[in-house]
Structures are given as C-alpha cells and as structure tokens.
Structure 1
C-alpha cells in the first residue's frame, strides 16, 4: 500500500493536533494544590520532592513548550495531593529535557 499525498497530509495534521494536546488533567485533589515560589513557603513543612517526566515528542512532532509546562505542573500537583497529602509545590528549576523537579509542602 502506497501513501498518497492526501493520506500523508492527514497523518501529519493528526500528529500536529496531538502534539498540541495536554494529556494530563488536574484531578480534583490536584486542584487543591497551588504552585508557589520558595519565598511563599517560609514557615511551611517541606515534605520532600517529586520529579515528573513528560514526553517532549509524539512521533516526530515536538510538543509546544507551554503544553509541556502545563502537563508537568498538572502531574506534580496530582502527585503532591495523592502521594504526599500536600497543598503546595515549588518548582526547583525549569523543565529541562522533559524532566522537572518540584519541592512538596504542606502549609
């Protein structure tokens, strides 16, 4: 079976559409977790940290950085709520190579 130009266009359009999607929704528990700065958590109890890993590519399509950041944050908020019973996360640094580390707090 040979690929026609129309078929290739449909495959490429589908890949691009998927690349723009955010696949991790914030759970109801994760909605209770806010993202803060280190200055905001003075006096809070640091519980530990969570590392999230996000797929930067779907096939050959590189996903937009803002979608990667949204997905990393959603994953960290969900993990903080369910794994740590926390209500605040603080990113240690930027998303790099599909990985981001967040400190987890209860305030």
Structure 2
C-alpha cells in the first residue's frame, strides 16, 4: 500500500470514528429519563451536573447527533449514580458540553 493510500485510509478511519458514540449507558442510567422544567414540579432537586465529550476528533467535527447522544448518556449515568431518575437540560449543548439538573421524581 502506497503512502497516498495509507493517508486516505487513515482519514477514512478518522471520519468513521468521529461519527461513533463511545459512551455506554450503565444500568442505573437506563432508568433515568429526560424531561422539561414544566414536568418536574413535584420532583426533588438532587443537584447539578455538567457532561462533556469531544465535539471533534483530529480536526474533524463530529455529527451533533452523536455528541448530543453521548452527552445525554453521560448525564443519565451520572444522575443514576446520584440516585436521580430524571434529568432536565439547563442550557444548550455547546462544544460538546451541556449542563443538567438532576431530580428524583419517583418517591421524592
């Protein structure tokens, strides 16, 4: 394989990897849902978290849907670790980072 072919294969690999989601949803994160502020009025606020992941890899911007899914999975996992069952975004996703409030809505 020539150097040109290796370079092309390397860039193709980076492109494929940039679109992948690497965060696994833990069992406690599977039980966490995302709601809106209007839906958590009777819930107990447990705290705040910020989740972040790489928005680009090797100068390749990752698809926003992959970044959003990864940040959401991280938030759900962290909320589950805190004993929460609900997350509510407190701001937009910016450069692979988003903040959430964590609530317990079932048996608050």
> TM class, shorter-chain normalised?
over 0.9
CA distance in 2, matches of 1:24, 1:42: 30
Aligned length: 104
Deviation at 1:67, TM superposition (A): 0.3
- Within-5 A mapping of 1:1-107: 4-82=3-81, 84-107=82-105
CA distance in 1, matches of 2:13, 2:97: 25
Query: Do 2:25 and 2:77's aligned partners in 1 also have CA atoms closer than 8 Å?
Result: yes
CA distance in 2, matches of 1:40, 1:22: 28
Please, what is the CA RMSD of the aligned residues? 1.0
CA distance in 1, matches of 2:95, 2:70: 14
Query: Do 2:45 and 2:103's aligned partners in 1 also have CA atoms closer than 8 Å?
Result: yes
CA distance in 2, matches of 1:97, 1:67: 12
For structure 2, the 5+ residue unaligned runs are none
Bigger mean CA deviation after superposition, 72-81 or 53-62: 53-62
Deviation at 1:66, TM superposition (A): 0.5
Deviation at 1:62, TM superposition (A): 1.0
For structure 1, the 5+ residue unaligned runs are none
Bigger mean CA deviation after superposition, 50-59 or 14-23: 50-59
Structure 1 consecutive aligned stretches of length 4 or more whose deviation exceeds 3 Å: none
Deviation at 1:94, TM superposition (A): 1.3
Query: Do 2:68 and 2:96's aligned partners in 1 also have CA atoms closer than 8 Å?
Result: no
TM-score by length of structure 1 reads: 0.93
